[in-house]
Amino acid sequence: MVRSLNNTTGASPRFIYHDSIAVMAIILDGRAIAARIRDKVKTRVEAMTVKPGLAVILVGDDPASHLYVSLKRKACEEAGIRFELFLYPSTEATESIMTQIELLNQREDVTGILVQLPLPNQNTDQVIAAIHPNKDVDGFHRENMRALSEGRQSIVPALALGIMKLVDEATHQISPPAKGELGGGRTAIVVGSAIFAEPLRYLFVEHKITTERVDSDDLELKSKTKTADVLIVAVGQPGLITGEMIKSGAIVIDVGTTRIGDKTVGDVDRISVLPIASALSPVPGGVGPMTVAMLMLNILKATGIQNVKGKM
Ligand code: GUN
């Protein structure tokens, strides 16, 4: 049987199955999916009488951090979300930043607070803990992490949400689950740090996907990645994952980013992986744009929580 799938959800190119074996993986178009989400956010913001507002704290002059913040500013402005930037020198005292956060916690017009990481010299844990959990649009506050781990309502890190959305999109395009099913019973392998894998593990549980984390220097790396129906890689080592490390038909999400000259590349060797996998989230154009879009959704969520709970 030859089956071709229509590209309705931003994937490119169309792909063809021969007797259920994918000839070439679809490349998940994170930019297109993110653009649709940002359009929806914009429509929702237009309907809101009290508009959401994001305050961003940016410390130091790391070019990558400044670039990420400029992307967040652009996304907010396009969506009609107020954006305020608080810039500090890299030597700013931790206490001074915490005092600013306290002021932002009190302001009703600021419904989201984000501290761009990494902080150059400050105590990150103390700074994040100063943010009110209902305004913590990064979902990094320990209260939000705990709520997620206990399956309670919480703000979830945008990167994890973006990855989950890409996995959902891939799942629906490759073999849509029957009505009422979540497409569960699968195994996900996450190659990366524990702090990166943790929120993903909880999200995957909700989708009945079992998760195992593996370090990139694990001697069994290849035999473990080969068991993955869903493989997520966030290491920052170009070419780490090759086709021979992939289970046939796996969904592969590349989260690594390494600058090589004027190009950004991921951890996945695209040429050897594409004929084996069923879907690949590329770098650039995969999780990057998704993370910004999911941040916009988190700002709406935080605004909603604050409206329900009233003044804090
Ligand atoms: N630095 C790299 N990724 C992130 C992120 O998702 N949020 C913040 N605040 N800083 C980051």
- Expressed in angstroms and rounded, the spacing between residue 104 Cα and the centre of ligand 1 is 19
Instruction: Provide the pLDDT confidence category of residue 17 given band limits of 50, 70 and 90.
Output: low
Q: Which atom of ligand 1 is nearest to the CA of 114?
A: 9
**Statement to judge: residues 179 and 234 lie in one domain:** yes
- Expressed in angstroms and rounded, the spacing between residue 118 Cα and the centre of ligand 1 is 7
- More confidently predicted of 184 and 234: 234
Per-residue pLDDT tens over the stretch 278-289: 999 999 999 999
**Statement to judge: residues 187 and 226 lie in one domain:** yes
**Token pair 């932002």 is at which residue?**
104
pLDDT of residue 175: 80
Cα separation of 136 and 141, whole Å? 7
pLDDT of residue 29: 98
pLDDT of residue 110: 98
pLDDT of residue 178: 63
Residue type, 48: M
Q: Residue 129: which CATH number?
A: 3.40.50.10860
- Expressed in angstroms and rounded, the spacing between residue 117 Cα and the centre of ligand 1 is 5
300 lines ligand 1 (CB under 6 A): no
106 catalytic? Reply is no
Q: Which atom of ligand 1 is nearest to the CA of 159?
A: 6
Pocket of ligand 1, candidates 62, 116, 127, 264: which has the most ligand atoms within 8 Å of its Cβ, to mutate? 116
Residue 146 falls inside a structural domain: no
Q: Which residues constitute the domain of residue 83?
A: 51-134
114 lines ligand 1 (CB under 6 A): yes
Instruction: Provide the pLDDT confidence category of residue 143 given band limits of 50, 70 and 90.
Output: very high
138 lines ligand 1 (CB under 6 A): yes
Annotated catalytic residue, options 136, 138, 229, 254: 138
Averaged pLDDT, 254-258: 97
Residue 110 falls inside a structural domain: yes
Cα separation of 13 and 155, whole Å? 34
Residue 237 falls inside a structural domain: yes
**Statement to judge: residues 55 and 26 lie in one domain:** no
Q: Is the pLDDT of residue 168 over 80?
A: yes
Q: How many domains does the chain have?
A: 2
Last residue of a domain, one of 92, 119, 134: 134
Per-residue pLDDT tens over the stretch 263-308: 999 999 999 999 999 999 999 999 999 999 999 999 999 999 998 8
Q: Which atom of ligand 1 is nearest to the CA of 291?
A: 6
Q: Which residues pair with 88 in a beta bridge?
A: 59
**Statement to judge: residues 26 and 62 lie in one domain:** no
Per-residue pLDDT tens over the stretch 225-245: 999 999 999 999 999 999 999
Q: Whose CA is nearest to atom 4 of ligand 1?
A: 117
Q: Is the pLDDT of residue 137 over 60?
A: yes
Q: Which atom of ligand 1 is nearest to the CA of 295?
A: 6
- Expressed in angstroms and rounded, the spacing between residue 300 Cα and the centre of ligand 1 is 18
Average pLDDT score, the chain? 91
pLDDT of residue 13: 43
Q: Is the pLDDT of residue 12 over 50?
A: no
pTM above 0.75, yes or no: yes
**Statement to judge: residues 68 and 172 lie in one domain:** no
Q: Is the pLDDT of residue 5 over 70?
A: no
Instruction: Provide the pLDDT confidence category of residue 6 given band limits of 50, 70 and 90.
Output: very low
Pocket of ligand 1, candidates 66, 67, 68: which has the most ligand atoms within 8 Å of its Cβ, to mutate? 68
**Statement to judge: residues 180 and 257 lie in one domain:** yes
Q: Which atom of ligand 1 is nearest to the CA of 158?
A: 6
Instruction: Provide the pLDDT confidence category of residue 1 given band limits of 50, 70 and 90.
Output: very low
Residue 210 falls inside a structural domain: yes
pLDDT of residue 3: 34
Residue 254 falls inside a structural domain: yes
pLDDT of residue 14: 42
115 lines ligand 1 (CB under 6 A): yes
Residue 177 falls inside a structural domain: yes
Residue 185 falls inside a structural domain: yes
**Statement to judge: residues 189 and 266 lie in one domain:** yes
Q: Is the pLDDT of residue 38 over 70?
A: yes
Q: Whose CA is nearest to atom 11 of ligand 1?
A: 117
- Expressed in angstroms and rounded, the spacing between residue 292 Cα and the centre of ligand 1 is 10
Measured in whole angstroms, how far is the alpha carbon of residue 127 from the centre of its chain? 22
168 catalytic? Reply is no
pLDDT of residue 25: 94
pLDDT of residue 183: 61
**Statement to judge: residues 62 and 91 lie in one domain:** yes
- More confidently predicted of 21 and 73: 73
**Statement to judge: residues 209 and 130 lie in one domain:** no
Instruction: Look at residues 56, 38, 119 and name the one whose alpha carbon lies nearest to residue 292.
Output: 38
**Statement to judge: residues 7 and 129 lie in one domain:** no
- More confidently predicted of 106 and 173: 106
237 catalytic? Reply is no
**Statement to judge: residues 226 and 255 lie in one domain:** yes
**Statement to judge: residues 165 and 277 lie in one domain:** yes
Q: Is the pLDDT of residue 116 over 50?
A: yes
Instruction: Look at residues 143, 146, 155, 149 and name the one whose alpha carbon lies nearest to residue 205.
Output: 149
Q: Residue 264: which CATH number?
A: 3.40.50.720
166 lines ligand 1 (CB under 6 A): no
Residue 143 falls inside a structural domain: no
Instruction: Provide the pLDDT confidence category of residue 20 given band limits of 50, 70 and 90.
Output: low
Averaged pLDDT, 159-168: 98
